[in-house]
């Protein structure tokens, strides 16, 4: 697990590097599918002093397997997503400024251009509000459940992020690095969409055939972007 701890640590440290977090407002996890174990950031430990060995190891039911700290309070949200979607390798939660603003606005981040379509197939959805009972109960688990409810049977790697109503963004990917990458993209397209809608409130969604082209150029079976 040492290697995965290092990866998760590095991915957590990338969040302040990319300007996605203030203080400790973020966390990254990754899963080892063979062993069924998840490595996640400890709760409320400052980035300035955090080390790779501080990462916490839990099983998919949330039992602590290794680590001297308590895991992130958002751990049950991460675990619900790993249990439901077997292709997820890493998950990120932040309160990045512009993506969080869309969450507060209660709106999906609309697909307006190719920057968005290079990574996200369609809008980045906003969940419904949790009910009072869901918040009073197992809140973090229920946050995971409302994400699952919103995504449904969508391939989560084709919609590698979501905004939770009045809360903020979660993103994911095939591993921790990819999940952070998608968190950066999400914040950037959230900013672009805010500005674009301000410039022209009557703008249109990206043409469907242009979205298909850009997404499949990078992600489809016939992808031709980058090096083989």
Q: How far is the CB of 2 from a copy of itself (least distance, A)?
A: 22
Nearer CB in complex with a copy of itself: 31/172: 172
Nearer CB in complex with a copy of itself: 46/152: 46
Phi, psi dihedral angles at 43 (to 5 degrees): -80, 130
Nearer CB in complex with a copy of itself: 31/165: 165
Nearer CB in complex with a copy of itself: 6/115: 115
Distance CA 62, CA 59 (A): 5
Is 225 catalytic? The answer is yes
Q: How far is the CB of 205 from a copy of itself (least distance, A)?
A: 9
Please identify which of the residues 10, 32, 54, 118 carries the catalytic annotation: 118
Bridge partners (DSSP) listed for residue 56: 40
Interface residue list for a copy of itself (CB under 8 A): 22-23, 25, 42-45, 69-70, 73, 95, 97-98, 100-107, 112-115, 129-130, 132, 135-136, 139, 166-168, 181, 184-185, 188, 191-200, 203-204, 206-207, 209-210, 213, 217, 224-228
Q: How far is the CB of 69 from a copy of itself (least distance, A)?
A: 6
DSSP string, 71-120: B-TTHHHHHHHHHH-TT--EEEEE--HHHHHHHHHT--B---SHHHHTT-
Q: How far is the CB of 153 from a copy of itself (least distance, A)?
A: 27
Is 85 catalytic? The answer is no
What is the DSSP secondary structure assignment for residue 203, as one 8-state letter? Answer: -
What is the DSSP secondary structure assignment for residue 126, as one 8-state letter? Answer: B
3-state secondary structure 57-79: EEECCCCEEECCCCECCCHHHHH
Q: Please, which residues have CB within 8 angstroms of residue 9's CB and are 6 or more apart in sequence?
A: 50, 51, 52, 54, 55
* Active site amino acids: 118, 225
């Amino acid at each position: 697990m040492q290697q995965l701890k290092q990866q998760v640590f590095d991915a957590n440290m990338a969040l302040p590097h990319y300007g996605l977090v203030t203080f400790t407002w973020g966390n990254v996890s990754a899963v080892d599918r063979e062993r069924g174990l998840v490595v996640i950031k400890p709760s409320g430990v400052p980035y300035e002093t955090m080390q790779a060995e501080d990462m916490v190891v839990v099983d998919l039911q949330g039992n602590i397997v290794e680590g001297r700290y308590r895991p992130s309070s958002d751990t049950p949200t991460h675990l619900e997503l790993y249990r439901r979607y077997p292709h997820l390798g890493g998950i990120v939660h932040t309160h990045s400024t512009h993506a969080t603003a869309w969450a507060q606005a209660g709106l999906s981040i609309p697909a307006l251009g190719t920057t968005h379509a290079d990574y996200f197939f369609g809008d980045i959805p906003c969940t419904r509000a949790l009910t009072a009972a869901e918040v009073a109960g197992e809140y973090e688990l229920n946050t995971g459940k409302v994400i699952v409810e919103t995504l449904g049977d969508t391939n989560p790697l084709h919609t590698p992020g979501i905004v939770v109503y009045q809360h903020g963004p979660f993103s994911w990917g095939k591993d921790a690095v990819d999940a952070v990458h998608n968190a950066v993209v999400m914040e950037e397209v959230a900013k672009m969409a805010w500005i674009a809608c301000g410039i022209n409130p009557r703008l249109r969604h990206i043409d469907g055939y242009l979205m298909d082209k850009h997404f499949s150029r990078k992600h489809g079976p016939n992808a031709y972007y980058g090096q083989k």
